[in-house]
């Protein structure tokens, strides 16, 4: 089975590993890696199962990183095929996690098996950092494994994260960084009252409207050569009792920044609170730091990845920092070079998630050639 990316992807998809469940996926991976000489560590933190597998004890350390957990399926009766019964149809492999990211895990394993078989005396070390908490609250997953590695001064040199980075064809986009993410949960205070007697109440919806307008139109930065401008989006707003004749006493709002390296967490916090204070609002706010922006500039890993993709597809990939966050944000601050390379992301998190089977074979070859470029 190890020589067949598709069969291995199926075996992983068939495990119902809805976050934070691993459902035996890491055991399957460990059973493949251990005979290749990998030392397997299972690291369980609270409800999350993680695996750190390493072959070799010398640097440099090349690491494949990814997750075995998947998002919930939604209504299973709306799927063309059962989401946890991997199905081949018209050249596509259907199932939850096919693209995000069990297909990538299968490709990583096959690439590693082929590489180690061909190059038993390769340079450095190869590692796998796998979690079951990437799609969940990301508290007990990769970040806890990194804390463990840092505590014993075990460093990753290069890391390929298998997130579905591609847009139209496999390998067309490589993520060499990600924007930072900062969330604010704020409650604005007013005075509840009868709508017929507004002079006896303070409507927080009315009071906050000018500040919200200012936030929505603010230019936070202009971005730079690697990052688009910082964006501000309101994701949730709630006020009122449900009655049509009651002025609300509070308004709750959740908003998020996806920000570039041109600003910092603290700079955004200071500017937001300045706007709230300027409009004399009464509020309580909680900030959640979801991840700092990171960037892997042109270097050994980016160059090795470009060469690998070009050798498989004949095309040079585009480097991008667009999109959401990934667990790369926990690995990059250790000093590692980090990129993301995976399948086309058109169906991720959707009903009828699927991946092109030919793309998985190409992806395995890309991963193998990255290893060859760096460790031979």
- List, as residue ranges, the binding site for Zn(2+): 67, 100, 135, 163, 349
Q: Are the beta carbons of 295 and 321 closer than 8 angstroms?
A: yes
Contacts 24+ apart (CB under 8 A), 25-33: 25/68, 25/102, 25/105, 25/132, 26/50, 26/51, 26/68, 26/130, 26/132, 29/53, 29/68, 29/105, 29/109, 29/128, 29/130, 32/2, 32/8, 32/109, 32/113, 33/109, 33/112, 33/128
| CA 190/CA 184 separation, integer angstroms | 19
What 3 state SS string does 188-214 have?
EECECEECCCHHHCECHHHHHHHHHHH
Q: What phi and psi, each to the nearest 5 degrees, are found at residue 133?
A: -130, 20
| CA 143/CA 147 separation, integer angstroms | 6
Annotated catalytic residue, options 69, 337, 340, 372: 69
- Sheet containing strand 250-259, edge to edge, reads 231-239, 250-259, 180-189, 283-291
Contacts 24+ apart (CB under 8 A), 333-337: 333/292, 333/294, 334/146, 334/149, 334/150, 334/155, 334/156, 335/155, 336/63, 336/155, 336/156, 336/157, 336/158, 336/159, 337/157, 337/158, 337/159, 337/296, 337/299, 337/300, 337/301, 337/302
Annotated catalytic residue, options 21, 22, 133, 134: 134
Q: Are the beta carbons of 176 and 321 closer than 8 angstroms?
A: yes
Q: Work out the number of other CB atoms within 10 angstroms of the CB of residue 188.
A: 24
Q: Is 134 a catalytic residue?
A: yes
Q: Is 85 a catalytic residue?
A: no
**Catalytic residue ranges:** 69, 134
């Amino acid at each position: 089975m190890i020589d067949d990316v598709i069969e291995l992807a199926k075996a992983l998809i068939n495990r119902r590993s809805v976050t934070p469940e691993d459902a035996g996926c890491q055991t399957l991976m460990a059973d493949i890696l251990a005979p290749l000489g990998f030392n397997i560590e299972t690291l369980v933190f609270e409800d999350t199962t993680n695996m750190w597998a390493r072959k070799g004890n010398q640097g440099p350390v090349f690491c494949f990183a990814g997750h075995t957990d998947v998002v919930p399926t939604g209504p299973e009766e709306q799927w063309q095929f059962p989401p946890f019964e991997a199905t081949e149809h018209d050249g596509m492999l259907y199932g939850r996690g096919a693209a995000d990211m069990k297909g990538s895990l299968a490709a990583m394993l096959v690439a590693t098996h082929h590489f180690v078989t061909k190059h038993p005396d390769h340079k450095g070390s190869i590692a796998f950092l796998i979690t079951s908490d990437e799609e969940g609250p990301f508290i007990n997953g990769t970040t806890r494994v990194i804390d463990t590695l840092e505590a014993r001064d075990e460093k990753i040199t290069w890391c390929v994260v298998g997130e579905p980075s591609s847009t139209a064809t496999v390998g067309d986009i490589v993520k060499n960084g990600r924007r930072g993410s900062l969330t604010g949960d704020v409650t604005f205070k007013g005075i509840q009252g009868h709508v017929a007697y507004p002079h006896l109440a303070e409507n927080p919806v009315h009071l906050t409207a000018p500040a919200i307008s200012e936030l929505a139109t603010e230019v936070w930065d202009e971005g730079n050569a690697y990052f688009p401008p910082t964006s501000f989006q309101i994701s949730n707003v709630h006020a009122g009792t449900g009655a049509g004749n009651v002025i609300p006493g509070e308004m709750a709002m959740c908003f998020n920044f996806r920000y570039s390296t041109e600003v910092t967490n603290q700079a955004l916090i200071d500017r937001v609170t300045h706007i709230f204070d300027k409009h004399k609002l009464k509020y309580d706010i909680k900030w959640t730091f979801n991840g700092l922006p990171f960037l892997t500039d042109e270097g050994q890993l980016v160059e090795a990845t470009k060469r690998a993709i070009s050798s498989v597809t004949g095309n040079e990939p585009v480097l991008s920092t667009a999109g959401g966050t990934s667990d790369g944000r926990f690995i990059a601050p250790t000093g590692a070079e980090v990129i993301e390379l995976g399948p086309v992301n058109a169906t991720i998190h959707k009903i009828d998630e699927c991946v092109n089977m030919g793309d998985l074979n190409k992806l395995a070859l890309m991963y193998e050639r990255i290893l060859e470029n760096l460790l031979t």
